[in-house]
Each structure stands twice: as C-alpha cells, then as structure tokens.
Chain A
Amino acid sequence: MPDCAGALQAARGGGMRDFPVHKKYELILALVVGISGHIFNLPVWVTLLCFSGWGFLFVAEKRGWPLPHRYILWVFACAAFAYVILKAGRRFDNDDGVILLCLMACLKPFEIKTHRDSMVTIFLAYFMVVSGLFFSATFIMTIHMIVAIILITGILVRVNQVEMRFRRSIRLATALTFQAIPLAVLLFVIFPRLPDSLWSVPTPNRAETGFSTTLSPGSVSEIVKSRAIAFRAKFRTTVPGYDKRYWRGIVFQRFNGTEWKVHHWTPRSSGGHDVTDRHDYILLREDTSSRWIFALDTPVMSPSEAILFADNTLADDKKNRRRKRFDLTSGEIQYNRALAAWERVSLRLPETGNEKTRKLAEAMFNQSESVEAYAEEILELFRDGGFTYSLKPPKLSGNIVDDFIFETKEGYCEHYASAFTFMMRAAGVPARIIGGYLGGEANPYGDYLIVRQSDAHAWAEIWVKNRGWVRYDPTGVVSPERLEGRNDVGADQSEAVDTAATNRGRFADRIMNQIRLGWDAVNYFWDVRVLSYTMDDQNRLFGRIGINMTHLKGRLILLGGSLAVVMFILGGFYLYYRYLRGRDTDPAKRYYMQFVRKLEKNGIPHHTWTGPMRYAEEAVTARPDLRKEINGITRLYVLIRYGNPAEPESLLKELQRLVSRFSTG
C-alpha cells in the first residue's frame, strides 16, 4: 500500500530517535545567548536564578548528578510564576512577561529527553532575543540580535546534525542568515504598519530621568547630573544659534509657596497663528519616560501622533506607545489676541508668603514705565545685586523666594526663573515658568544636534500686551556663558580642565570625541531610518511608487489582506499536511491502531517496528485474560492487511466491531 502518509510516518522516524544528550551544553549556551540582551534590564534575582539553574545543570551533566524530580520542578515553576504575577498585580506589563519567559527558559533544560524538547528550547532562546528588542533598540542591539540569531541557529543546526562540527554549523547559520536578508528587507518595507496599537498594555515603569510635573529648588540641578542623551534634532532648514536653542517642554503655572506645578486644565491649541522664523526639523526622542515632547521654542503645529496644547507644549497621545520620532515645525508666534480666560491662572499667587518680595516687586513696578522695563529692572537686580549661579546653592526654607532674593542670593536656573516669575505675578503681570532644555551639541557626522539631560534648563515667560508671551531667561545675566553653549557650572565641573594638561592629552580627547560623535551618528541614522520606520514613512515610500495608502480603510485592508494571505498559505500547507496524514491508514490499520491505543493505555507500549504478531504475544503475556480477544483481533487484522482476502468489506466490518467492543477493563 504505497502512499504518501506511510512515507510521512517513515520519514518521521518512528519513536525514539538517536539523541545524544551531551548536546545539552549547547542548548544551555543558546539560552544564555538569548538572555544576554536582557541582562541589564532584568531584576537581579531573575538573572541569578537562571544562571545558577543552568550552571547546576551544566555541572550535573558533567558529573553525572541526578536531576531534580519532575514534580519538584513543576512546584518550583508554579511558585515562581505565582510570585511574579501576584507581585505585578494589575500592573502586569511586558517586563513581567519577559520575566516569566526567562523563568521558563531557566527550567526547560531540566527536561530535555526528545528531539522535540531540544527544538522547543531553541525556540525559547529565539523568543528571548526578540523580547529583548522591546526593551531597548539601538544599533548595538541590532548587531547583538544578528549575532544571537547566528549563534542560536548554529546550535539548531548542530541539534539536527549532531556529527557536524561547531564551526561548520556556525558557517552554515551565517550563510542562511545572509541569504535571508533580502527577503527580510522586502517584508520589512512592505509589511503594513498600524497607526495605533491593537490593544494596550501598561508601559513599563522605568526610572524617570528628566522633568517631572513639579519644579522646586534643586529640581533642575538634579536632572543635569546625567549626561544621558535626552533627544536629537535634525534641522531641515537653518540651525538656530546657541542662544536660540531653547527646547520647550513643560509649563509650570501653579505655585503653592514651595513648588511649581503643571496646570491640569490646559486646553488644546486651536492653532492658526501667524508665524515667523520657521524651523522644520525631526526630533528623535531618546528618553520616552514622560509624555512631553521638547520642541524648539515655540512649536506651531502638531504632528498626527502628538497633541499641541494651548500653552504651546507638545505631548504624545496617550495610546501607550512611546513614540520616538516626530516631524515638527517651530517658530516665533505673532500673538494678536488678549490674554485668554484660562491663562489667568498665570496671575495667581498664594494669599500670603514672601511679603518682602511682594513689596519689592510693587515698588520696582511702580517705578517702571512698562512691563518690559520692569523685566529689565529685575534682570539688573540679578546681575548687579551680588547674585551667583551655582549648582549646589544653600537650601532655601520658609519663604523661599524671600530667602533667595535677600539672604542666599545663590541658585541655579530654577531659582532665578522662580524668583523672576514670582516677582512678575506680584506686580500683576501674567508669568509662567518653562521647563526644558537649552543648547545642543552639533554632530558634524550627521548634521544634527545632540541634547542631553545635562542641558536641562528652566526659564520664564511673561505676557506683554500686544506682544503676547515673551521669553525671559534670568540665567542669561547671571551666567552668560550658559547661552554660548558652555555650561561650566554643571555636569562638566568635575572634569575641570587643567590648562597645564599636555597637548597630547587634548589630542586624545579630541580623537575620543570624534569617535563618540561618529558612533552617535551611526545610532542616529539607524534609529531614524530603520527603527522609526513608521506608517508615514511607508505611505511616503509607497506614494512614490504610486500606491495610495493614506486612507485608513486602505491601510487596514492591506494589513488584513497581508495577514490573510500569510495565514492562507500557512493554513494551506497545514491542511495538505493533515490530509496526507489522514490518508495515512487504510481502514484496517486504523482500527488496529485504535486497538493498539487501548492496549497502550493499559501499559503495553507499542513501537512502530513491532510486528502485529509480536505485539499480540506481548499483550497476551501482560493480559492473559484477554487472550482470546487479542489474538482474534490480531489474526483478523493480519488476514485483511496481508492476506488478500476475497471479501474485505465484511471482514473490515467485523474488525471494526471487535475493536470497538474490545476493552481492557
């Protein structure tokens, strides 16, 4: 009875395949490679647990120690899973999912018996690699991913061809990877992107750097300690000079005596301003832990994935996707309106407190001809009044503004901005504090600016009739070099330049600098072109080819269509496979196998290579009480299958009847 399914069965290789268990070492290696991308993101206990589990396994294999019993492993697994799930509670997010995955990876190698087990382990390793990409996605991570794929695939090759040498397996895996790249690139470019998530999961709770929603003395000096990159900006038009590089992010409106807070009731912008001095640029956020997008002062439009508020701040919409790349336009807004009703919050001060400053403010205001003149007066006060700009000023207490202006006279940008704003409000001028960044290092390799947390800054805005909101930065008078791109007071203070340092040292520094910038440029390009490849990029690309994808319906149809085609192809394969398997047995064999399965359940194992007569002998030895039935069924089956009987149908019916009546009970 030659047929495909018999072929399938034979090709499947019967029961236990030849499986050298010493390949366990390599499977563990695959898992280690898989977890390597995660090591810095996982909680320490998870990493330790995994490595100690694998280490134990490694040594146990070498020394022949017995492995823990299956049930112990299951209990342990359930306990660990329960711990993770309960600890996360309702805030279960992707990070917790990854922890569960790593736990599974830790336990799986304890139970490798068949070929299938080792394949599943390899797939676990792959899954760990991809989950690492959800944490961080830099150019380096992409390189790591490719190396990981090659290594793990090499081990997969070894698992299947156990006699192949390791080096050769790696070479084969490398060849496979590179041969796959063209198809992968094609799929990447054409596979449709979604504008929104299909479902939302709470985003991971990471340590927040950068600004929070409150500003108090010491806030900014805290932020500037870090030299981590906050974002990068690439200008399509001219690059603004140093003193124009104000990146506006958060507006602090409410003062309660000790700290400034964001005002909750900020409405959205209605847009439609007159704008001069436009700049178009791409902003690539590095730190996405907060919603705020630090756009160049002042953003005038909102890209589709962000919201522009009426106080000219930008935030990404709440869809729980921390998007990185935004195409923005900023410029100087020509205000031709009065102060809006909601903006009156910028006049409010607490009822009491800081009386000395209030009196000073009133006196100075009454002496000034205009609001601008008053502002200049305050700046003169700061410049000539014995004030200093310092990263670690003395702590303020009580009436903190009074304390600052009359006592300490020492502070960082937030102190000055706060004092300035307070004095403005005390004189009845609408004023607010802006938190953001000032500056940006130009990277000649990529033609973009790098803005770091150490560039964090706070300044003020006041409302001038007929001019609208005008920026005033008190820091400019106290520490003018700050506006020239040098922040001598700040994170660099520890690296005080010793002018006696040798030229060679400076040269080495310069080389290091160039390397650093070059590497940053590589990362930037990778980030912008590949990692941030979005729906809009895709639309643009397809638009150039001539395919219109702007309609949401069109996009969804394309996505649905592609998925459907993929599913269809795979499903077709699968059905074909099942069909072949289904044609596997002629009816006689099918009934016989039912009979065999009943016996197997009773503890009489059956192997593909055991002939029916032999199996009948074994069965009768195990269950002599069923001798008659076993022999009857076996003989009938043999007759039908091998004996070419004259009337097979009636015999088949008889066989079916006997088998269904057969029971080991």
Chain B
Amino acid sequence: MKAILKRNSIEYHRLPYNAPARRLYILPTRQGWLLFAVLTVMLIGSVNYNNNPGLVFTFLLGSMAIVSAIHTHKNLVGTTLLSISPQPVFAGDPLSVAVSLHSVGGRVLNLRVGFSGEESLPVNLPDERVQTVFPTIQTVSRGEHRLPPIIVSTEFPLGIFRAWYKFVSEDRFLVYPAPVSCPFSSSVDFIGMEEDGDIPSSGVDDFKELKSYAPGDPLQRISWKAYSRGRGLYTKIFQGYTGASLVLDWQDVYGDDAEARLSCLCDLVLKAHNMNHVYGLKLPGTYIEPGDAKDLQHREKCLTALALYRRPGEGE
C-alpha cells in the first residue's frame, strides 16, 4: 500500500525533541478566517466612504492579527518533548500515553498535545518544570503498532492562528487482545473460583490456614467469617494450592477464529493471575512454562505472546 511505502521514507525524530523553529506549520484557524472576512468588510466599507478612521481601525486590527502570528510561533519555539511512555493496554480500550515536555526559557501557555487523529489535551508550561500530559490513542486491534505522530500545537494568544509541529516516533506500543469470556474444555475445575467468595465443597483444594490479609490478595479469599467476628482481615490459604498448575492451551479453547481464541486465552490468563494460580500458556509455535504465582512479569510475558501471536505462515 502506498501509505506503507511512504512510511519507509519518513524520517523519525528522536527524543528529546526541540520544536523545530524553521519547520513549524502555521495557519489561520477557522475563527481566524472569520476575522479576516470581517476585516475585509470593514476595509471595503471604509474605502468606499473614504472614512480614514475606519481605515485606521481596520489596518490596526489587521496588523495586530498578523503580529499575533509571530507570538503564536514564538510560543511554540523553545518547547521540548522529553519522553513518551505508552503502557500496554487491551484492544478497544483507549491507550493513555504519558508525554512529558518542558519549555526552555519563558512561559508557554495554551499548548495542546495529542496524537494525530485523536483529541488533543491542553497543557501549560508556566516555568521550566516538566509537565506531563496524557493523550490517548484509540486502539482497535491487538498487536504491535507504531505510535501515531504526536502533534504539539498552540493558538496563543488570540486564537487566530494555529502553529504546530509533529513528532514522529519509531516507538511501538503493544495492544493485548481484548479479553472475552468464552467456553472451554478443561479438566481443571476452574469456574467455581469465579463465584463470589465461598469455596465449593467439592473443590480440589482444601483449606489449610489463615494468614493476614496483604493488599493485593484476591478478595474472594478473604475469610469473612473471621471478619464478622471482629478478628480483622485474613486471607484463606489452601492446601495443595501451590502444587496445582494449569496450562492454558490453545486447543482447549473454542472460538470462531484465531482472534476469538486469543481473546479467550487472554481472559483466562487474567483470571488465573487474579486468583494466584500458577499457569502456563501453550500456543501453536509457542510454549510458556508456568511461572510463579502473582508474577506480573510472567503475566506480561503471556499477554505479550498473545498480542504478538502470528498464525504460522502469516507474513509481517
């Protein structure tokens, strides 16, 4: 596709990125055009009646509008983009990216930062301190995507002209598949854990002991009996818990297509993690061994594998 070919010839910018003083775009805004139309009407009226005060006013206002363009330009020059940090997110959710910038010397007001095609957010740089703003990107499909260009713009001071520059980054961001509850076949009696609170009596694991509640412990595991007796918050620990480990297998899940399966697996990974299970992931061409329970890195590894999954034979 043409867009891709073009992309190959685009140059990428590096952080930290200073506003390119000579390559700022600047154009009138919609209100700017309206003002010029109004000025034209005033001009024609004044010329017709040979009304010199009217001409003075028109020229003064017009000159001010033009001079303000210089102020708009100046407002943007001297800003520097420092860092861009996208966090991985699930498909369909908006991705918030932390963008930090600061201004070298002088106040910068009424900046707007946003991704190309998305809404821009206002930010002011009243002094030299770094400010961070969180523009979002709409994500649609999973996988690794290139960051869209960041647009830094301003309409200071009169809202008549808009100046902006673009930052094109080579960075990519990761989008995990959207988790979707789905049916599966498995020997592991897994579902029971999803209901609220109580352990089914026919559970595989037996209750072993109580330990003090630590933040992050799943809420299903809290001993409400103990709490209701005024003994505080305790988490139930199950015997034989650490022994059980599951492997979430591609073949065990059912879905219309590969994407549905990936979504399903993603949901399972999340649930397993939340319930402190030890789990592994098996995809065609990939096998991730079960890692430690509650290991965020392991979760990330699995989700990344799901995000980047390519059907054998699928090209780039």
Contact = CB atoms under 8 A, between A and B. Distances in A.
Which label, helix, strand, loop or mixed, suits the secondary structure of the A interface? helix
Contacts of A75: none
Interface in B1-47: 1, 3-4, 7, 10, 25, 27-31, 33-36, 38, 42, 44-47
Interface in A612-646: 612-614, 638, 641-644
A172 B157 contact: yes
A612 B44 CA distance: 48
Interface string A123-151: 10011011001100100011001100100
Interface of B: 1, 3-4, 7, 10, 25, 27-31, 33-36, 38, 42, 44-64, 66-68, 71, 92, 94, 109-110, 112, 114-120, 122, 124, 136, 138-141, 145, 148-149, 151, 153, 155-159, 162, 164, 166, 168
B34 A119 contact: yes
A609 B149 contact: no
A46 to B, nearest CB: 20
B112 A13 contact: yes
A179 B70 CA distance: 11
Given A116-B31, A184-B60, A648 B119 contact: no
B50 A193 contact: yes
Given A115-B159, A161-B109, A193-B50, 18 more contacts: A9-B116, A11-B112, A18-B122, A116-B30, A120-B31, A127-B38, A142-B53, A145-B56, A172-B157, A180-B60, A181-B60, A191-B55, A198-B48, A321-B49, A577-B27, A577-B28, A641-B140, A643-B141
Contact of B66 (A177, A183, A530, A586): A183
Contacts of B168: 2
A156 interface: yes
Nearest to A130: B57
B281 to A, nearest CB: 24
A7 B164 contact: yes
A611 B140 contact: yes
B149 A161 contact: no
Going nearest first, the 9 A-B pairs with the smallest beta carbon separation are A14-B119, A180-B63, A11-B153, A6-B116, A611-B138, A133-B53, A183-B63, A2-B149, A160-B159
Nearest to A16: B119
Interface in A150-205: 153, 156-157, 159-161, 163-164, 172, 176-177, 179-181, 183-184, 187-188, 191, 193-194, 197-199
B53 A612 contact: no
Interface of A: 1-4, 6-7, 9-15, 18, 115-116, 119-120, 123, 126-127, 129-130, 133-134, 137, 141-142, 145-146, 149, 153, 156-157, 159-161, 163-164, 172, 176-177, 179-181, 183-184, 187-188, 191, 193-194, 197-199, 321, 323, 530-535, 559, 570, 573-574, 576-577, 580, 586, 608-614, 638, 641-644, 648
Contact of A123 (B28, B38, B49, B153): B38
Contacts of B68: 176
Among B10, B28, B45, B56, the most chain A Cβ lie within 10 Å of the Cβ of B56
Contacts of A10: 114-120, 151, 153
A354 B151 CA distance: 94
Among B30, B46, B109, B116, the most chain A Cβ lie within 10 Å of the Cβ of B116
Contacts of B156: 160-161
Contacts of A145: 53, 56-57
A570 B71 CA distance: 19
Given A11-B120, A13-B119, A153 B64 contact: yes
B174 to A, nearest CB: 14
Contacts of A142: 53, 56
Contacts of A641: 140
Contact of B94 (A2, A159, A609): A609
Contacts of B66: 180, 183
Nearest to A580: B27
Contact of B59 (A159, A191, A638): A191
A141 B53 contact: yes
B157 A160 contact: yes
B3 A11 contact: no
